[in-house]
């Protein structure tokens, strides 16, 4: 299949769909380093980009991958990089600095679970910066989000991260890659391509605020100020989905592919007469605090649960939104398979339904089946 756009549905794995979506959005450069469960994204870019005149480099490490994307972006091209959480850890200095340099990088995190929430939303890099974070619940939404990511990155001249996971990357779906039309953005007159060298009006793409002689420049202090004051404007990009809230007693907050399981579980619970609703953040940053606050403020709502495949990260943002109106309980858990890469025991409709119900009827949360012997309280140290 040489054409990237498919108007008919074709069976393909999530990684391929995301790569195709990026190319449809105009991405012409990708660099990455193999790491499970992200590796296939790199493979698909390597296969598909040359056909559209682009370049994909298997870099010597994640550090160089993000550096190469940096250079490509500086020329005005659309470019991306990605990894799983560990690889993104290596890229953090560059992420911070590229945000200061106002480069529109798109970052793929094919995460091992949802434990990279803090990394994505708080950032592991230095200084004040925020990345817009999109959390698709399935491949179809992923295809939309990837295209949206490139648009938002260019719109704000700010990196945007697409938070996927093992399930999204490796699920095969029949999917049509349809190009989304976005509002036209201004030309990238900030980019450098050599044509202004020697004219007295050469440009610089820099995080340091150093300007060319004779041109206005913010300097390092001014640059930091500028980036900080951009943040409230980017908060307008918040996106969220809600369901079954009208007379809900219990509201569950969940994101990404687990959210799809949660929504299904809640549909079943509703059918059985339980008044449960949900809030699904689509942007993890900006987090939909207002929607969570509104939900917590509904007269019927008694309690809020945060479901995540983690030890509890998004719950911090849920608590900020709820602001003490009702109790917030963590009903998720760390969950991977035996390899540590994939999805685990908790991502199971029965387990999830059970945990939501336990919250709903104020029953003690059951131990996640299979994890009985892993708790710290056991005081048994096993490698």
Partner 1 sequence: MSGPRTPIVIDTSSAPTVPARKVEELKPALLLTQEHHMCPGCGEPLAIRQFLETIEDLDVAQRSIAVAGIGCYTSFSGTMDIDLVQALHGRAPSVATGVKRMLPDALVFTLQGDGDMVNEGLQEVIHTAARGENVTCILLNNGVFGETGGHMTATSVIGQRTKTSLDGRDAEYHGYPILIGDLIAQLQGAAYVARGSVHNAGGVARTRKMFKRAFETQLRGEGFTFVEVLTMCPTGWFIPTAEGPGYMNETLGEVHIMGELKIDGRVRTTEELHAENVARQRELDEQLARGGLHDE
| CA dist., res. 81 & res. 94, Å (int) | 12
Rounded alpha-carbon distances, angstroms, from residue 22 to 59, 198, 312: 19, 35, 31
Q: How far apart are the first and last CA of the chain?
A: 46
Measured from the CB of residue 206, what is the shortest distance to partner 1 in angstroms? 4
Query: For residue 261, which of 335, 347, 337 has the smallest C-alpha distance?
Result: 347
Least separation in angstroms between CB 122 and partner 1: 21
Binding region for partner 1 (CB under 8 A): 28-29, 31, 55, 57, 59-61, 63-75, 77, 79, 93-94, 97, 101, 192-200, 202-208, 210-214, 217
Identify which of residues 81 and 147 has a Cβ nearer to partner 1 in the complex: 81
Comparison of 80 and 310: residue with beta carbon closer to partner 1: 80
- Nearer CB in complex with partner 1: 68/169: 68
What distance in Å separates the CA atoms of residue 255 and residue 233, rounded to the nearest whole number?
23
Separation of alpha carbons 332 and 352, rounded Å: 8
Q: Which two tokens stand for residue 6?
A: 């498919």
Select 93 or 294, whichever has its Cβ closest to partner 1.
93
**Rounded distance, CA 255 to CA 136, Å?**
8
Find out whether the peptide bond into 35 is cis, omega within 30 degrees of 0.
no
d(CA 370, CA 363): 20
Nearest to partner 1 of 59, 152 (CB atom): 59
- DSSP letter at 238 equals -
Please state the closest distance from residue 225 (CB atom) to partner 1, in A.
Answer: 19
Complex with partner 1: residue 59 or 88, whichever CB lies closer: 59
> What's the min distance (Å) between Cβ of 233 and partner 1?
25
Cα 382 to Cα 218, 325, 376, 379: the distances in Å are 54, 41, 11, 9
Closer residue to partner 1, CB minimum distance, 72 or 143 = 72
Between 29 and 261, CB nearer to partner 1: 29
Minimum distance from CB of 252 to partner 1 (Å)? Answer: 41
Smallest gap from Cβ 93 to partner 1, in A, equals 6
101 touches 67 (CB < 8 A)? no
DSSP 281-345: ESEEES--HHHHHHHHTSTT--EEEE--SSSSSHHHHHHHHHTTSS-EEE-------TTSSS--T
CB of 97 to partner 1, least distance (A): 6
CB of 193 to partner 1, least distance (A): 6
């Amino acid at each position: 299949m040489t054409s990237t756009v498919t108007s008919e549905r074709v069976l393909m794995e999530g990684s391929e769909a995301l790569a195709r979506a990026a190319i449809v959005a105009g991405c012409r450069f990708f660099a990455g380093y193999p790491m499970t469960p992200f590796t296939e994204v790199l493979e698909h870019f390597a296969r598909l980009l040359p056909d559209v005149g682009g370049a994909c480099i298997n870099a010597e490490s994640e550090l160089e991958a993000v550096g190469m994307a940096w250079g490509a972006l500086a020329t005005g091209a659309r470019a991306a990089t990605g990894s799983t959480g560990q690889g993104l850890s290596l890229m953090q200095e560059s992420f911070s600095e590229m945000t200061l340099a106002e480069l529109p990088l798109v970052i793929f995190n094919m995460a091992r679970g949802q434990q990279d929430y803090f990394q994505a939303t708080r950032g592991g890099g230095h200084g004040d910066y925020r990345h817009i974070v999109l959390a698709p619940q399935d491949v179809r939404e992923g295809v939309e989000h990837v295209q949206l990511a490139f648009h938002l990155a260019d719109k704000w001249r700010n990196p945007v991260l697409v938070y996927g996971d093992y399930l999204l990357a490796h699920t095969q779906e029949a999917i049509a890659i349809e190009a989304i039309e976005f509002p036209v953005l201004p030309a990238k007159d900030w980019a450098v391509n050599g044509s202004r060298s020697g004219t007295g009006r050469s440009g610089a793409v820099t995080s340091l605020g150093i300007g060319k002689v004779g041109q206005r420049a913010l300097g390092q202090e001014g640059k930091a100020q500028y980036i900080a004051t951009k943040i409230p404007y980017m908060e307008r990009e918040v996106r969220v989905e809600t369901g079954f809230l009208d007379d809900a007693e219990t509201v569950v907050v969940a994101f990404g592919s687990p959210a799809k399981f949660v929504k299904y579980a809640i549909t079943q619970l509703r059918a059985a007469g339980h008044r449960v609703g949900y809030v699904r953040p689509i942007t993890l940053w900006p987090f939909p605090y207002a929607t969570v606050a509104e939900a917590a403020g509904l007269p019927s709502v008694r309690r809020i649960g945060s479901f995540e495949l983690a030890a509890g990260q998004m719950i911090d943002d849920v608590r900020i939104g709820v602001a003490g109106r009702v109790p917030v309980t963590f009903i998720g858990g760390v969950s991977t398979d035996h390899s540590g890469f994939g999805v685990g025991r908790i991502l199971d409709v029965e387990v999830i339904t059970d945990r939501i119900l336990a919250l709903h009827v104020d029953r003690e949360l059951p131990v996640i089946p299979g994890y009985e012997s892993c708790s710290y309280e056991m005081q048994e140290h096993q490698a």
